[in-house]
Structure 1
Amino acid sequence: MDPRPHDPSTHTPLLDEHRPNSPAARLVDSHTIVIVGAGAAGIAVAASLRSRNPSLDIALIDPASTHYYQPGWTMVGGGIFKAADTARDMSACIPPNVSWVRAAVSAFEPERNEILLDSGRRIRYERLVVCTGLKLNWQGIDGLQETLGRNGVTSNYRFDLAPYTWKLVNTLRGGNAVFTQPPMPIKCAGAPQKAMYLACDAWRRSGMLQDMNVSFFNAGAVLFGVPDYVPALMSYVEAYGIALRFQHRLVSIDGPKKLARFVRTLPDGTTDTVEQGFDMIHVVPPQTAPDFIKFSPLADSAGWVDVHAGTLRHTAFDNIWALGDVANTTNAKTAAAARKQAPIVAHNVLASLGQEYGTACYDGYGSCPLTVERGKIVLAEFLYGGKVSPTLPTWLIDGTRPSRAAWVLKANVLPALYWEAMLKGREWLARPAISR
């Protein structure tokens, strides 16, 4: 799910979203293209569409009042970025001449080419783009919600908690530090361990690392899904003295007792329960498609929007596309993936309207800058199937090794690329190849 707060008080009164029985709420608005979700993927595809045809009639549906640069939250948790620098007013991010419908979607009716809003209002479309993000299921871990932000329990997956991560790292003077990763799929699969590496580096710099017992409890069976990057990561695991615990899924937390419980899957497929005390625990919640997607006609059996892996067009409804975290493509769920997907969807939507020619196809590109210490990053870039695919020459950045150049890219270049290129329809290094 998109972690941005739903604040009903920010709905524009002109849309009468608070009055489901008003005459306006019974009306049906109509737009050529409707985009659901104004996260990274939604704004990027709206901007890419506008850059191709400024006269398009586009509506963007999202109730949030703030847009977040979520890739920056790991850096906030590491004491490098300020949280405020990762947030901007949504009104400043919506592309010009795109109608912003400040409401939440409750249902899809693709047979009627309509969307139902939570107010009861309907929106009709000729083409629909779905990019709602995914749902962070904080309730999926017993006791977690009651203790988040206190008792040493934190998560960089929430804007308001990332600063607490840094506070814990900066004040601990020894003890058990636990970092967790839930079952896949999750957004930014490297983020759970990035938080751990930056914490360990901070403790090493302050002379506290020798007094810390650091553990990584991973529900999966491997450190990282693309083997080419594992040796570099393992060198840091060993240097920091991190204990790896694979096949351990976090199921409950007792904050006051500082006790975490995991279900461990044994080699024969049976399970048992493992308890681990902590002084600090960084939790990554399990993640699913949002409920209104999961139970819609657009979803596959796992709840994600069912699209073709290349064109990102829906498998059953040919006037619907999806991109970003909510699509059932097998790429890594990262902002870098959305940056490549947005121009592809923009082109293919316009081609379906007869305004472009040929087909653009997504190759599964994703990127995960793994911050292994302050000043160095292992820059993982890969396509479908885990094929390594560096953007820059390896003499400049060899992604399989920790690099200062990759750190400069992450800390200085990528935020500007996000705000000033991706969200503005400038497709630097992202313009798709077109098959005629």
Structure 2
Amino acid sequence: MQIRTLSPDLSICDQPRPEDMARIAELGFRAVIGNRPDGEEAGQPTWAELAAAAAQAGLAARHLPIGGQVSAADQAEAFARALGEMPGPVLAWCRSGNRAEQVARLALGFRHERHHRVVVVGGGSAGIATIASLLKRRKGLDIAVVEPREEHYYQPGWTMVGGGVFKPRDTVRPTGKIMPKGAHWLHAGCIGFDPDRKAILLDDGTRLTYEVLIVAMGNRLAWEAVDGLEAALGQFGVTSNYRYDLAPYTWELVRAMRGGRALFTQPPMPIKCAGAPQKAMYLSCSEWRRSGVLGGIEVEFHNAGTALFGVADYVPALMEAVHGYGIDLRFGSNLVAVDGPAREATFRTAEGEVTRRFDMLHAVPPQAANAIVAASPLADAGGYAQVDPATLRHVRYPEIFALGDGCNTANAKTAAAARKQAPVVAVNALAVLDGEAPLAGYDGYGSCPLTVDRGHIVLAEFAYGGKLAPTLPTWLIEGKRPSRLAWHLKADALPAIYWHGMLKGREWLVQPVPLQ
């Protein structure tokens, strides 16, 4: 029996036995709550047996089972009432303690409530940009952001770190330094949504209510979905630019490699920045060509999909890069296992599983919806927040909006998309706050600067349906061809635009347009 303390008056544990009740009383507990239904497994003590032993030990007892059709949220109010009525401290349990902890935290939220007119869940790119745009339009707005992380990352820069262009320090700032003035920063994480009551639950036990909720929690990198990958990362030649701490290792491997086989992977869609897997490959090949070793390196691109890029207009320029570097394209090849010490990667293909030995492996993890959103009423069948693609307003809860990598819009999941979405959400959220209908529309814009070598970029910009959507005149940057000017935009201008524009509410070239 492992006891974990949640508050001075409440602890949780895994399944106790009737003979444990006397020991529980000796530890100072005065009441117990059982959250496990009877009959879950053979040999499990019944509630009647546990309650009788608790009474004999002088403990108050209450049974609030969770399981089957009864969720932790269903029992939260009853649990909160029990805490108010029973003598403390209280010990609650289920089989492992997880359900007991979930309902306990929900119940504690009923005892610690806080309200803000606007609540933003997530202090990443999309969340901070939206807050800045809101406060730009309405100074003094009562707005809170729920974000537990103390550091904020410019994730598009990690590809450049892996290519030896940026330093890791170029891509990180303290969260407090980029938090918009006027926003209330709650240093906590969201662990549950209760949209019917216009509330969310935080991991510190707070129940936070709102008039308008904006969800910007991103998606999840599912490293565990590839057998052996997590254990191999950062050693054995296994790396990924999708992690801040690993991007420098990518550059270390590239500089050290003089021959052998380099594998680059791309998992099934949707993923963050669909061009990033091949950007890592092109930058690596560019360095190997510069140092004169490319001819001795076998480069393979294992793409779980069937096309090099989702917008056909940009594929010819990318194919020129592929042929120029001598890259072996392998479509329909999905990474499923990594044996780091043996330096072997296994791929699932239409013909069966194929194992390839490597000297360097740049692995892109499969990606999934945020687990908290996926478990909530906000989610679609795939686990992403379900919103109208134009207004970014939730399809069932009119006071909720979602943007960024965690919503189910069909645009590319990029920082450029979040930059375009943030002003739209800001305008529409304020309209809803004022009792009006949404006013602004999002056209699905996304941008992917495809770095084909160190010095040239194919600047892919497109909207819903793959429609080309160039920001600058094509005589200045022809997006379908590699451009040195696009390289300078990526390497020199975009970081400054991110830190000093997007996160400050400066909507350069992304002003919201009226809803069509």
Deviations 1:207-228 (A, max 9, x none): 0100000000000000000000
1:191 aligns with 2:271: no
2:138 aligned residue (27, 46, 53): 53
**Counterpart in 2 of 1:85?**
170
2:468 corresponding residue in structure 1: 388
Q: 1:210 to 1:320 in 2, by over 3 A?
A: same
> Which residue is 2:507 aligned to?
427
Q: Which whole-Å deviations, capped at 9, do the CAs of 1:174-196 have from their partners, x for residues lacking one?
A: 00000000000000000000000
In the TM superposition, residue 97 of structure 1 has moved relative to its aligned partner by 1.1
- Per the alignment, residue 36 of structure 1 pairs with 121
| 1:407 pairs with 2:407 | no
Aligned pair in 2 of structure 1 residues 357, 298: CA closer, same or farther (>3 Å)? closer
1:88–1:355 distance in 2 versus 1, CA, 3 Å = farther
Q: Which residue of 2 aligns with 1:243?
A: 328
Shift of 1:25: 8.5
Provide the identity percentage.
Answer: 59
Could you say which residue in structure 2 is the equivalent of 1:180? 265
Counterparts of 2:268 and 2:186, CA distance in 1: 34
Residue 206 of structure 1 and its aligned partner are, at CA, apart by 0.2
SS of match in other structure, 2:290: helix
Correspondence for 1:378: 458
Q: Which residue in the other structure is 1:3 paired with? A: none
State the SS of the aligned residue for 1:338. helix
SS of corresponding position for 1:164:
helix
Q: Which portions of structure 1, spanning 4 or more consecutive aligned residues, are displaced by more than 3 angstroms?
A: 19-25, 355-358
Which residue does the alignment assign to 1:334?
Answer: 414
Q: Which residue of 1 aligns with 2:90?
A: none
Aligned length: 413
Letter in 2 for 1:431: Q
Map of 1:125 onto structure 2: 210
CA distance in 2, matches of 1:434, 1:45: 17
- 1:353, CA displacement in angstroms? 1.8
Contact 1:358 1:434 in 2 (8 A): no
1:360 aligns with 2:445: no
Deviation, structure 1 residue 120: 2.0
8 Å Cα contact 2:390/2:515 also seen in 1: no
**In structure 2, what is the Cα distance between the partners aligned to 1:307 and 1:116?**
21
Q: Secondary structure at the match of 1:415?
A: helix
Report the AA paired with residue 424 of structure 2: I
Separation (CA, whole Å) in 2 of partners of 1:108 and 1:306: 14
The answer to which structure, 1 or 2, has the higher relative contact order (CA under 8 A, 6+ apart) is: 1
Query: What do residues 281-308 of structure 1 show as CA deviations (whole Å, max 9, x unaligned)?
Result: 0000000011111111000001000000
CA distance, structure 2, for counterparts of residue 135 and residue 301 of structure 1:
16
Aligned to 1:223: 308
Q: Is the 8 A contact 2:414 2:448 kept in 1?
A: yes
Deviation at 1:153, TM superposition (A): 0.1
Partner of 1:16: none
Please give the alpha-carbon distance, in whole angstroms, between the structure 2 residues aligned to 1:357 and 1:44: 22
**How far apart are 1:55 and its partner, in Å?**
1.1
Q: Is the 8 A contact 2:391 2:515 kept in 1?
A: no
> What is the deviation of 1:330?
0.3
Pair 1:161 & 2:241 matched: no
C-alpha distance 353-21 of structure 1, shift in aligned 2 (>3 A)? closer
Aligned CA RMSD, in angstroms, stands at: 1.6
Secondary structure in 2 aligned to 1:393?
coil
Shift of 1:118: 1.7
Cα distance in 2 between the residues matched to 1:301 and 1:37: 22
TM-superposed deviation, 1:22: 12
Deviation string 1:345-395 (CA, Å, 9 cap, x unpaired) is: 000000112288861010000000000000100000000000111100111
- Take 1:321 and 1:22, find their aligned partners in 2: how far apart are those partners? 26
Q: Once the 2 structures are TM-superposed, how far is the Cα of residue 80 of structure 1 from its aligned partner?
A: 0.2
Would you say the 8 A contact 2:391–2:438 is kept in 1?
Answer: no
Aligned twin of 2:44: none
* Aligned counterparts of 1:173 and 1:25: Cα–Cα separation in 2: 61
Q: Deviations over 1:39-74 (max 9, x none)?
A: 000000000000000110000001000000000000
How high is the TM-score relative to the length of structure 2?
A: 0.78
Aligned amino acid, residue 359 of structure 1: L
Match of 1:99 among 184, 189, 202: 184
Q: CA 1:355–1:434 in 2, change beyond 3 Å: closer, same or farther?
A: farther
Q: Does 1:145 align with 2:230?
A: yes
TM-score (norm 1): 0.93
What corresponds to 1:11 in structure 2?
A: none
Distance (Å, rounded) in 2 between the aligned partners of 1:346 and 1:340: 11
1:74 equivalent in structure 2: 159
What amino acid sits opposite 1:308 in the alignment? Answer: D
Structure 2: 5+ residue runs without aligned partners?
Answer: 1-103
| Offset, 1:24 | 9.1
- Report if aligned partners of 1:20, 1:26 keep a CA contact under 8 Å in 2: no
